[in-house]
Amino acid sequence: MGENKTITVALAGNPNSGKTSLFNELVSGNQKVGNWSGVTIEKYEGTIKHKDYIIKVVDLPGTYSLTAYSPEELLARHFLIEDKPDVVINVVDGTNIERNMYLTSQLMELESNIIVALNMFDEVEKSGNKIDIKLLQRLIGSHVIPTSAVKKTGINSLLDHVVRVYEGEIVIAKNKLSYSDRIEGEIEKIKDVLELQRELKDCYVPRWLAVKLLENDQEVYKLVKEYPVWTRVERILLDLIDALEKEDSDDAEIMITEDRNAFIRGALHETVIYAESKKKTLTEWIDSVIINRFLGLPIFLFIMWSVFQFTFTLGEAPMGWIESMFDYISGIAVIVIPEGILQSIIVDAVISGVGGVIVFLPNILLLFIALSFLEATGYMARAAFVVDKIMHKVGLHGKSFLPMITGFGCSIPAMMATRTLKNKGDRLVTMMIIPFMSCGAKLPVYVLLISAFFKPSIAGNVLFGIYLFGIAVAILSAKLLKSTLFKGESEPFVMELPPYRLPTLKSILIQSKHKAEMYLKKAGTIILAASILIWVASNYPFSESIETKYSQEISIVKQEQLLNEEAKQFKVNALELAQASKQLEYSFSGRAGKLIEPLIRPLGFDWRTGIAIITGLAAKEVVVSTLGTIYSMGEVNEESVDLATKLQDDPNFTAATAMSLMIFVLLYIPCLASIAVFKQEAGSWKWIGIYSAYAMSVAWIASFGVYRISLLLGFGN
Amino acid sequence: MEITLDELANGSKAEIVTIKAIGEIRRRLLDMGVVKGTRFKVLRVAPLGDPIEIHIKGFNLSLRKEEAKTIYVKKIGEIGDGKPMNRFCRKRRGFHGGK
């Protein structure tokens, strides 16, 4: 019997209960990470073979309760009700049983086969608290297994119990959580009515439905409303509300919560003896320094700075390696593949496109290693605590701060880091303002334009001013978006500050690896497609007449007898550059640049800048290289000059134009890579549309304003 | 005397009387164990003056003053409140559990 039977096990528990570590221990390396369908909440699954059984473990999102308010809780609830896992392991933090048991009390009501894993039991023993496990089992009506993910104890016993509970070999009489008489009476009344409806009786636990109706749970309301019994249920509920109002007593929701808490308190009163301890805990010590009145903010800023340095300074070297690796590969491709369209598409589109994706990988990995570390140690919650007041002023949550800071390095990991925000509105607003935090790729554009048009003595101030301008736009945008599109959608700041714990290297690496894979898979494909598209737009249509004209000129130069080899080569190069810029002008991108000229004229840009703006959609550094190509026109006989000088010499390009262009590059749609990530995180094209329209309008208005003011201030000549 | 949670000074101990918050905030508070009769201690205020951190049911909870304003509490551990926190209570139930 029992030859390779599959048992589905769900892992449910509070955040910070050590659930993830326990999961990693249970499935030890056999986990796979995906997303729950329809939401960007990660789904961890894994399988293990135990005895003759295949045990499939699903790690539900960490929740404090099972209400209908947060997507995580709804998801956990749906999985428990709809997918009906064979066994539910409820991970309870043994050092904080009272609050953790609140979820247990709700799981009891769902009448699943629960096993309680009393986790962090090593810490319980150390603290000297005594727990009467046998009695606790009887009171909550399920097995209680002491476990410790850190010390790797109790794991086998837990798996044994999963099998035995599945086979029905050991049964502990299920205990019912009973409420006060008043509530029990109402539950019975509603339950009796609900049981008349076969569909409800067969698929759900009627008592649970009744409790949830009394708790005013909108999802369950919606469900029951579909059936004819609703009219009768509604009458009972309305009568109760009226009666409670007349008595001026608390509503049913509060009474139920209080009863649950009373049940837990009673159960713990009988089973747990707390050791008397006057000693300050480690967490209290650390907190009294790290978030104290005076040091809290400086320490916070220092940690943010360290994360930033860790991610971008440490990431610089591997980024360089990746870049030179791809240079090497395209060098080989140029030799191996014969010159022509195939070579161009492979070298300029595929290799540079893939390279452009992979080059961000070191940053993403490092940032997520740092973030998972901060999250797992417990500092992340403190960071939100310290900075929440500022963020709350613009309508955001304290947790938005870190992603925003990360945006100064690169928008891509920054947008991925918004996953710590649970509220969708908060997340979208944060993602929409992240690109305004000027990222590293925009720097070359500023450097070029500032060095061309501003004195070295004020160059630094101009650069700083641009960064500040971005921050100001981000703050104003957050305020604007929060008071219009995302009105009222804010996550309440009721947050646990968990005890400090040293995370395991394993769980940090697993999480960071998952983030990197996700980026490569989802963003990578879109970016590759987009870079091919931009390549096509910049190379087609191809003008034969330009090609013929320049080939002729080049061959004439090559045959000239009067010039030495060096001068010949110089002339040929100049002609080739001129040819490239003519071809670019003739291509779709060039035509588009001319097409949008009337639109960008008021900002001081001509069609050449227009082309740079369009190709700059691929990546912001491309703005510089495009300007380089396009400004190389018609200078065959001149001495080689750098792009900055060429821009200065262009009468249409003034300091005012430079200011305007820098502001435009700062604010308009960021690179395609970050748009791809935005799509992946926001989940719908609708938000991309809204975001693009918003970013473009802001960029246009701001550039227009800056250009006009600069003209008034005399920067126009 | 009933006051709201945000009026308590650092280090003071109190007991929850009622929660006037509505909707999601109320649900969150209830789920985190902020219910009538629960005792807690105010630990600190964030460096910028908001939010605040309390110790309740054996863990640390932070909440904004805005939310704290909806929680009515009465102070305990002062002379004359009639409910001394004796050692027996503490030993058996943690300081929050005694009555």
Q: Does residue A517 carry a pLDDT above 90?
A: no
* A293–B47 C-beta distance less than 8 A: yes
Of B29, B30, B62, the CB nearest to A385: B62
Lowest mean pLDDT among A112-116, A120-124, A416-420: A416-420
Locate the chain B residue with the closest alpha carbon to A104: B31
How confident is the model at residue A489, as a pLDDT?
Answer: 61
Q: Share the mean pLDDT of chain A.
A: 86
* B64–A96 C-beta distance less than 8 A: no
Q: Does residue A90 carry a pLDDT above 80?
A: yes
Task: Give the start-end residues of each E strand in A36-86.
Answer: 42-50, 53-59
Q: How confident is the model at residue A714 (pLDDT cuts 50, 70, 90)?
A: confident
How confident is the model at residue B83, as a pLDDT?
Answer: 52
> How far is the C-alpha of A505 from the C-alpha of A233, rounded, in Å?
52
Q: Does residue A505 carry a pLDDT above 90?
A: no
Mutate to test the interface with B, among A494, A496, A497 (most CBs of B within 10 A): A494
Q: Does residue B1 carry a pLDDT above 70?
A: no
Q: Does residue A402 carry a pLDDT above 90?
A: no
Contacts 24+ apart (CB under 8 A), A444-447: A444/A620, A444/A621, A444/A624, A445/A620, A445/A621, A445/A623, A445/A624, A445/A661, A445/A662, A445/A665, A446/A662, A446/A665
What tokens were used for A352? 């540079």
Query: Does B90 contact A at CB distance below 8 Å?
Result: yes
B32-51 pLDDT tens trace: 989 999 999 999 999 999 89
Give the mean model confidence (pLDDT) for residues B53-76.
93
Cβ-in-10-Å burial (0-12, 13-18, 19+) of A507 comes to: middle
Of A274, A296, A493, the CB nearest to B47: A296
Give the mean model confidence (pLDDT) for residues A492-510.
87
The shortest C-alpha distance from B22 to chain A (Å) reads 11
* B24–A492 C-beta distance less than 8 A: yes
Query: Does A493 contact B at CB distance below 8 Å?
Result: yes
The shortest C-alpha distance from B33 to chain A (Å) reads 7
Of B31, B36, B48, the CB nearest to A389: B48
What tokens were used for A371? 């973030």
Query: Does B10 contact A at CB distance below 8 Å?
Result: no
Cα end-to-end distance, chain A, whole Å? 90
Q: What domains sit in chain B, N to C, each tagged with a CATH number?
A: 3-93 (2.30.30.90)
* A381–B90 C-beta distance less than 8 A: no
Short-list A78, A672, A691, CA closest to A427? A691
Q: How confident is the model at residue A639 (pLDDT cuts 50, 70, 90)?
A: very low
> How far is the C-alpha of B29 from the C-alpha of A363, rounded, in Å?
38
Lowest mean pLDDT among A197-201, A252-256, A379-383, A503-507: A503-507
A146-171 pLDDT tens trace: 999 888 899 999 999 999 999 988 77
Query: Does B20 contact A at CB distance below 8 Å?
Result: no
What tokens were used for A709? 């003011």
Of B59, B90, B97, the CB nearest to A276: B90
Strands B52-56 and B39-45: antiparallel
Q: Does residue A52 carry a pLDDT above 70?
A: yes
pLDDT-above-90 percentage for chain B: 55
> How far is the C-alpha of A573 from the C-alpha of A632, rounded, in Å?
10
Q: Does residue A632 carry a pLDDT above 70?
A: no
Mutate to test the interface with A, among B62, B89, B93 (most CBs of A within 10 A): B62
Place of tokens 């509920």: A237
Q: How confident is the model at residue A634 (pLDDT cuts 50, 70, 90)?
A: very low
User: Other CB atoms closer than 10 Å to residue A684's CB: what's the count?
Assistant: 9
pLDDT-above-70 percentage for chain A: 96
pLDDT-above-90 percentage for chain A: 38
Q: Does residue B85 carry a pLDDT above 60?
A: no
For A478-518, the DSSP string reads HHHHHHTTTTT-----EEE-PPP-PPPHHHHHHHHHHHHHH
* B32–A99 C-beta distance less than 8 A: yes
A331-363 pLDDT tens trace: 898 888 887 778 878 887 778 777 777 887 888
> How far is the C-alpha of A325 from the C-alpha of A319, rounded, in Å?
10
* A69–B61 C-beta distance less than 8 A: no
Q: How confident is the model at residue B52 (pLDDT cuts 50, 70, 90)?
A: very high
Of B53, B59, B97, the CB nearest to A265: B97
> How far is the C-alpha of A648 from the C-alpha of A634, rounded, in Å?
16
Is residue A22 within 8 A of residue A48, CB to CB? The reply is no
Q: What domains sit in chain A, N to C, each tagged with a CATH number?
A: 5-166 (3.40.50.300), 181-273 (1.10.287.1770)
What residues in B contact A385, CB-CB < 8 Å? 46, 51, 53, 62
Q: Which pTM does this prediction carry?
A: 0.82
Lowest mean pLDDT among A287-296, A441-450, A510-519: A510-519
Q: How confident is the model at residue A35 (pLDDT cuts 50, 70, 90)?
A: confident
Locate the chain B residue with the closest alpha carbon to A94: B58
Of A273, A392, A497, the CB nearest to B64: A392
What residues in A contact B67, CB-CB < 8 Å? 492-494
Q: What residues does B71 pair with on adjacent strands?
A: B19
What residues in A contact B46, CB-CB < 8 Å? 291, 296, 385-386, 388-389
Q: What residues does A302 pair with on adjacent strands?
A: none
* A494–B25 C-beta distance less than 8 A: yes
Query: Does B97 contact A at CB distance below 8 Å?
Result: yes
Query: Does B28 contact A at CB distance below 8 Å?
Result: yes
A249-282 pLDDT tens trace: 888 889 999 999 999 999 999 999 988 766 778 8
* A102–B33 C-beta distance less than 8 A: yes
Please state the length of chain B: 99
Q: What residues does B14 pair with on adjacent strands?
A: B40, B75
Query: Does B81 contact A at CB distance below 8 Å?
Result: no
A219-244 pLDDT tens trace: 999 999 999 999 999 999 999 989 98
How confident is the model at residue A21, as a pLDDT?
Answer: 87
For A92, phi then psi, to 5°, come to -115, 130
The shortest C-alpha distance from B54 to chain A (Å) reads 10
Locate the chain A residue with the closest alpha carbon to B35: A258
Please state the length of chain A: 717
* B94–A258 C-beta distance less than 8 A: no
* B47–A291 C-beta distance less than 8 A: yes
Mutate to test the interface with A, among B34, B55, B59 (most CBs of A within 10 A): B59
Q: What burial letters (b/e) apply to A221-255, b meaning 16+ CB within 10 Å? A: bebbeeeebbeebeebbeebeeebeeeeeeebebb
Give the mean model confidence (pLDDT) for residues A54-70.
89
Tell me how many residue pairs between chain A and chain B have CB atoms under 8 A apart: 133
| CB within 8 Å of chain B, chain A residues 96-115 | 96-99, 102
Give the mean model confidence (pLDDT) for residues A22-46.
80
Q: Does residue A2 carry a pLDDT above 50?
A: no
> How far is the C-alpha of A69 from the C-alpha of A76, rounded, in Å?
12
Helix, strand, or coil here: A100?
A: helix
What residues in B contact A381, CB-CB < 8 Å? 62
